[in-house]
Amino acid sequence: MIVDKLYFCNNNKVKVMKKLGIILLLATGLNACGNVDEQKAAEHLKQAEKALSAQQFSEAKLQVDSIRVLYPKAFESRKKGIRLLQQADLQEQQKSLVYLDSMRMVKQAQFDSIKGRFVLEKDTAYQETGNYFYPAQTVERNIGRTFLRAQVSERGEMSITSIYCAGGSIHHTAVKVSDGDESAETPPSDDRYETTDLGRPIEKVDYKLGADGGVVAFVLQHADKNIRLQFNGDRTYRTVMPVSDRKAIVELSRLARILSGMEEIEKARKEARLKIDFVKRKMEENKD
């Protein structure tokens, strides 16, 4: 009986020792695998650092992302990868900001070279943004004239206004421009205003670029032609666009491209600065 008990105890000890041995082997194996993962991850990290030094930001991010996907347990390398990603984001936005600053200077120079060709009308009492007009189309020069006027806001938003005061009301809502068999027509606009001046009806209808039915583009393509202008309402009224009105649309279109470009650059600069501030905050947090 005593022998049996001793055998049973020894047998249990053997089993326990075997289990401990297996656990130790597994732990050693896992540790070895972890070391191998860290070594492989370190290679990707090295490639990421090399790419960052060459300002190849996409490649640097790709290498760091590979560590996350392929070696999720390479914790040290992943931590270093996060810091490297932040450096890549920071440098990328700083480089972008330098480029945007240079582009802003180019656009500003373009604007300065042509702004003297236009008249800025702005009442600071109630207008935050003024509008540029071609001198031949300012209000004081066109009292009582029926024509198609162009304007561009300081933000580069272009629009055209059909002004009718040729006698009697036609309640027009759209205009059509044509040259031979080719034409373009605005869709009916709800942005309308009608009044009278000394008993004469005056009608104004606004059309924003992009919602003008291609009228501005048509004038640009046929600026050297004798373009006919038609007002569509309860009845139609036809006239011809003089050279000065065609030129106004051509010149203001160029101004709109420059000003809208400046506006887009400024938006991009603000976004870049916000991203830079965000990345810097995250980098400070990761120091802790």
**Which three-class secondary structure string do you get for 229-282?**
EEEECCCEEEEECCHHHHHHHHHHHHHHHHHHHHHHHHHHHHHHHHHHHHHHHH
Which region holds residue 5: left if phi is over 0, alpha if psi is between -120 and 50, else beta?
A: alpha
pLDDT for 23 equals 41
21 in the same domain as 126: no
Do 218 and 184 fall within a single domain? yes
Please tell me whether residues 143 and 261 are part of one structural domain.
yes
Domain count, the chain: 2
pTM exceeds 0.85, yes or no: no
> In terms of domains, do 20 and 156 share one?
no
Q: Of 166, 219, 162, which is closest to residue 192 (Cα–Cα)?
A: 162
State whether 75 and 210 are in the same domain.
Answer: no
Residues 145 and 245 in one domain: yes
- Rounded Cα distance, 217 and 212, in Å: 9
Supply the range of the domain harboring residue 106: 3-110
Tokens of 104: 């802003």
- Residues 105 and 121 occupy one common structural domain: no
- The predicted pLDDT at position 11 comes to 53
User: In this predicted structure, what is the pLDDT of residue 74?
Assistant: 85
**Does 274 fall in a domain?**
no
Residues 125 and 261 in one domain: yes
Q: What is the pLDDT of residue 9?
A: 44
Q: Give the pLDDT confidence score for residue 288 in this predicted structure.
A: 59
Per-residue pLDDT of the chain (288 residues; tens, 9 = 90+): 544 443 444 454 444 445 444 444 444 444 444 577 888 888 888 898 898 899 999 998 998 888 888 888 888 888 888 899 999 999 999 999 999 999 999 999 999 999 999 999 998 888 899 999 999 999 999 999 999 999 999 999 999 999 999 989 999 999 999 999 999 999 999 999 999 988 899 999 999 999 999 999 999 999 999 999 999 999 999 999 999 999 999 999 999 999 999 999 999 999 999 999 999 999 888 775
Compute the CA torsion angle 93, 97, 98, 100 (nearest 10 deg): 130
Asked if the structure places residue 278 within a domain, the reply is: no
Residues 251 and 135 in one domain: yes
In a domain, 146, yes or no: yes
**H or E segment to which residue 101 belongs:** helix 75-114
